[in-house]
Chain A
């Protein structure tokens, strides 16, 4: 390590030698940085899962434009809208097809009394083009009343419960006091608002949600003609539907707005975002304490170097060298432990907590920046190294 750093810096790696000389302090410092990294990784992991889980339901649908009530932030909140808007939109040039979408939550009850919340989508089975291929292929089976496509990765339901379904056997279960039969399975998984997903026909949906009416879906999905700009059609529809009670957005914009809402306006997103900040502050404080103590412990040696003719930049180099060493050494265990905790969290919660290269690089850069900030603060103590005091 010393040789490598000597080659790198073109001088003795004083910072590394100082850190490695006091192994107890080095271990404590590395553990501190690793802990701060772990905090940040966990918060970002959950935030990432929130992002993925928020947009995952949008991937179940194949639509270019979505019309929703003006108070809508997500797929499930907001008022219902009049289906009449769908017919008006169909008259807009460029709109090829339209479908009402019904969304609600159903309680899946197991025989042992436990339950899971399933986000339920009611689709028009005659329009499979509006569903993702995996769903579209199974959609005609939902023409039979009280049948469904069930999320086999739903949280809280033992995986073995779906063994028969995977083998092609219908699987019946109780929902809202009625029996629903799953004819096929899809793999989606749990999110922050529901434990899994259920796809039913619009007719079955209305049967299970007795207070809902076919004339008031949650959203209206639109597909545009081939070669026509989605944004152009969105503008046309906005012009045609001159009301403030609905919002017309591309499906992509709706998903992005949902994600922004979840991460910046909902408590879950804000809490975990704040957690990232806390992790950074913890890291900065820990590294500052280590570097500051190290500078204080070596003031006499630094004063000697000053007497020998070393300039201020040399000392800054030592402190930043230490900061970078701590950043790298702390990042590695922090990253590895995070991978383990991600796996544990995934298994325990069913949330899509995944590590990706971008996050790892961003956290490493953040660690380097945080450690450098700590180093910059710690260098203020260098002024106390006065060579005149040596005699």
Chain B
């Protein structure tokens, strides 16, 4: 079941605020995401796509409905289970969110050390290899302040992918990248899906990469208005 659908959302509703200010952001969302697929979430600002991304990525508590993530129900899941599940995920944020005090390599190492596996040397080799794959072999010891916006984003991509996540959640990962770099990153995610079964759910408005998507889900006012699910 996990192999077939790493994410299954059923009857998902979500609200923000309390009392009279309570506002529904997601309405009865039902989605099944296939393993190894590259999925784009699209829609205007405020349509609820980021909320869906955070609900699926166990970054936000499921209030109503169900989200099955990698075989685990997130509704009512405790903090400890969520922390363990997050370790099987990779996150790429629109703002790279690199740690300013850590070098590029150290930032990527953080993606590995959370698992506490492998020797320090092997972790270092893996981090450096990953930075090489995103074209930053010559910037490994640079602090984020010394990197361009695109380079920072590529470090963030390396950090998200270095521990071989089962699912990657990405929020506008190509926004800070030039056309070529952006495409390279998305092609890498697609290749990971095809070769290792890594599933990607990505919020994007980047028309330059649309043809790479396996599935494009469009949302508006908290509802799915179109879905080219095969």
| A positions within 8 Å CB-CB of B | 6, 11-12, 14, 17-18, 20-21, 298, 300-301, 303-311, 387-388, 390-391
Contacts and interface: CB of A to CB of B under 8 A. Distances in A.
Given A304-B93, A388-B59, A391-B54, A17 B102 contact: yes
A268 B89 CA distance: 63
Q: Which 6 A-B pairs have the closest CB atoms?
A: A309-B87, A21-B101, A309-B86, A304-B97, A17-B101, A388-B60
Nearest to A302: B99
B113 A11 contact: yes
A96 to B, nearest CB: 73
A14 B97 contact: no
Contacts of B80: 311
A301 B144 CA distance: 13
Most B CB within 10 A of own CB, among A12, A20, A300, A308: A308
Contacts of B86: 306-309
Contact of A21 (B50, B59, B88, B100): B100
A17 B143 CA distance: 11
24 contacts: A6-B120, A11-B113, A12-B102, A12-B109, A12-B110, A14-B99, A18-B101, A300-B97, A301-B100, A303-B97, A305-B110, A306-B86, A307-B59, A308-B87, A308-B91, A309-B83, A309-B84, A309-B114, A310-B83, A388-B54, A388-B60, A391-B54, A391-B94, A391-B203
Given A390-B97, A391-B94, A308 B114 contact: yes
Contacts of B84: 309
Interface string B101-125: 1100010011101100000100000
Nearest to B55: A388
Contacts of A308: 86-87, 91, 110-111, 114, 159
Interface string B65-99: 00000000000000010011111110101110111
Interface residues on B, range: 20 to 34
Given A14-B99, A14-B102, A310 B114 contact: yes
Contact of A387 (B59, B109, B114, B120): B59
A303 B54 CA distance: 13
Interface string B27-69: 0000000000000000000000010011001011000000000
A12 B50 contact: no
A11 B97 CA distance: 20
Contacts of B53: 391
A12 B57 CA distance: 26
A391 B93 contact: yes
A303 B93 CA distance: 12
Given A304-B93, A388-B60, A391-B94, 14 more contacts: A17-B106, A21-B100, A300-B97, A303-B97, A306-B86, A307-B86, A308-B87, A308-B110, A308-B114, A309-B88, A310-B83, A390-B93, A391-B171, A391-B203
